[in-house]
Amino acid sequence: MSLYNKAKSLMPGGVNSPVRAFGSVKREPIFIHSAKGPYVYDVDGKQYIDFITSWGPMILGHGREDLIEKAKVYLEEGLTFGLPSDIEVEMAELVTSATDTDLVRMVNSGTEATMSAIRLARGYTGKKKIIKFEGCYHGHSDSLLVKSGSGTLTFNTPTSAGVPEDTIKHTIVCRYNDIDDVKKAIESNKDDIACVIIEPIAGNMGVVPGNYKFMQELREITSENGIVLIFDEVITGFRVKYGSIAPLFDIVPDLYCFGKIIGGGLPVGAFAGPEKIMRHLSPDGDVYQAGTLSGNPLAMKMGRDVLNILREDKEIYERLEEKAIKLENGFNENLKSTGVSGKVVRYKSMLCLFFGEFDEIKSYDDIKNANTEMYSEYFSFMLDRGIVLPPAQFEAIFISDAQTDEILDYTIEQNRLALEHITKNA
């Protein structure tokens, strides 16, 4: 029996997270055994250039020798204590000083971070309703599985079975980058909205950057109405720059959610904010939240070391962006020379090649008709040539520092051949 068949006999879809099943690109998934630098290796030892980078966390690439040496020491020091530890304090200081926040709570995933931040916003304001944006994904907690992006978008199931209507009735879905839509939602639910949660750069409908003016107005309108503004920076945090992206919009949200990079590749999430809100959290306040492995020492130490590298390397963010620009330019030239219709959207070190005809890309409406068939063909062609891209059109490529010029050149060349192949088959 193949490993995939065995996996399917033991796990739904053979995977532990739906997108890994490669369903939307109509391929059998590859099973990875190990990773090093810019590469992942499947169970047969086949090498692939990795443009998923574990959906963002592996910003430095896989298995850096300095980090491996440190990890060995951390293993000796103990895996989990269930008691307060010094590294949690150090990590809290790192995260709060890198962002405009006073207090932070560590959790084990991005889902937990957003779910808990929403509970805190509700507890703090005493209000029930929440606003989210179509195409943004904030993890899989019940109240957020409403027309959400990422896996659910790709599988074309706008809501999940098992989510009670009663839970969802408090969630309002607005159009991304559309302030009038938010104004209308607030007007018709006056005094009942606890929070607005948003990905400041949406990375779960491909890449769709939040607009500067929109973010400014969103901050203004939420402040005026006593609504907690939550920046879900599970992707953007420490990726687009060190800390939060908020300063690039010249605003300060109320709560921030982090994950991915801050765990250095281990399971982590965090939410942070000012004293006046965060003190409502248990045990200081009456909003309950807890976790057996929260602030896990291994995750905290690896996260701390990655954050320190990102902070101390003054050129790293520029370097990451340059790599992304190189891909963007290469892909654009290839689109032009082959005549394939598509558009590359890039923000710093995140990018997406959308297939199809597009004008301006501002919201989910603008990309929902992207040509997923073409993307599947493209994905397969690249995979066969040793390049693993996100296995879905509506996901982002995440650049890592381990990706060399040579790798990027090879990828651009294969991209050209893939586009030529697509035109021949059209």
Active site residues: 137, 232, 260
- Range in contact with ligand PLP (rule: CB under 6 A) among 35-43, 95-103, 196-204, 309-317: 196-204
Relative orientation angle of helices 316-338 and 405-425, to the nearest 10 degrees:
20
Shortest approach of ligand PLP to residue 262 CB, angstroms?
A: 11
Q: How many CB atoms lie within 10 A of CB 214?
A: 17
Name the residue among 199, 194, 221 with its Cα closest to residue 211.
199
Contacting ligand PLP within 215-274 (CB under 6 A):
232, 234-235, 259, 269
Closer residue to ligand PLP, CB minimum distance, 139 or 330: 139
Closer residue to ligand PLP, CB minimum distance, 204 or 296: 204
Shortest approach of ligand PLP to residue 263 CB, angstroms?
A: 9
Closest residue to ligand PLP: CB criterion: 110
Token digits of residue 136? 């943004």
Residues 6 or more apart in contact with residue 65 via CB below 8 angstroms: none
Contact present, 257 and 120 (Cβ < 8 Å): no
By CB under 6 A, the count of residues binding ligand PLP is 16
Contact present, 123 and 285 (Cβ < 8 Å): yes
Closer residue to ligand PLP, CB minimum distance, 198 or 344: 198
| Alpha-carbon span 117 to 197, nearest angstrom | 9
Q: Is 110 in the site for ligand PLP (CB under 6 A)?
A: yes
Residue 291 burial by CB count (10 A; 0-12/13-18/19+): exposed, middle or buried? middle
Q: Is 55 in the site for ligand PLP (CB under 6 A)?
A: yes
Report the relative pairing of strands 342-347 and 129-133 from DSSP bridges.
unpaired
Token digits of residue 320? 């990451």
Name the residue among 366, 361, 333 with its Cα closest to residue 347.
361
| Alpha-carbon span 119 to 112, nearest angstrom | 10
Shortest approach of ligand PLP to residue 56 CB, angstroms?
A: 7
Closer residue to ligand PLP, CB minimum distance, 236 or 380: 236
Shortest approach of ligand PLP to residue 117 CB, angstroms?
A: 10
Token digits of residue 423? 């035109």
Shortest approach of ligand PLP to residue 251 CB, angstroms?
A: 18
Q: Is 330 in the site for ligand PLP (CB under 6 A)?
A: no
Shortest approach of ligand PLP to residue 6 CB, angstroms?
A: 25
Q: Is 109 in the site for ligand PLP (CB under 6 A)?
A: yes
| Alpha-carbon span 315 to 309, nearest angstrom | 11
Shortest approach of ligand PLP to residue 22 CB, angstroms?
A: 17
Closer residue to ligand PLP, CB minimum distance, 346 or 416: 346
Token digits of residue 324? 């992304």
| Alpha-carbon span 216 to 252, nearest angstrom | 10
Name the residue among 393, 363, 373 with its Cα closest to residue 153.
393
Shortest approach of ligand PLP to residue 121 CB, angstroms?
A: 15
Amino acid at the residue 25: V
As beta bridge partners, residue 257 has 232, 271
| Alpha-carbon span 154 to 108, nearest angstrom | 25
Closer residue to ligand PLP, CB minimum distance, 38 or 259: 259
Amino acid at the residue 44: D
* Per-residue mark of binding to ligand PLP, 111-150 (x: CB under 6 A): x--x----------------------xxx-----------
Closer residue to ligand PLP, CB minimum distance, 138 or 170: 138
As beta bridge partners, residue 50 has 388
Closer residue to ligand PLP, CB minimum distance, 99 or 380: 99
Q: Is 92 in the site for ligand PLP (CB under 6 A)?
A: no
Residues 6 or more apart in contact with residue 379 via CB below 8 angstroms: 25, 27, 389, 391
Q: List interacting residues with ligand PLP (CB under 6 A).
A: 55, 109-111, 114, 137-139, 199, 203-204, 232, 234-235, 259, 269
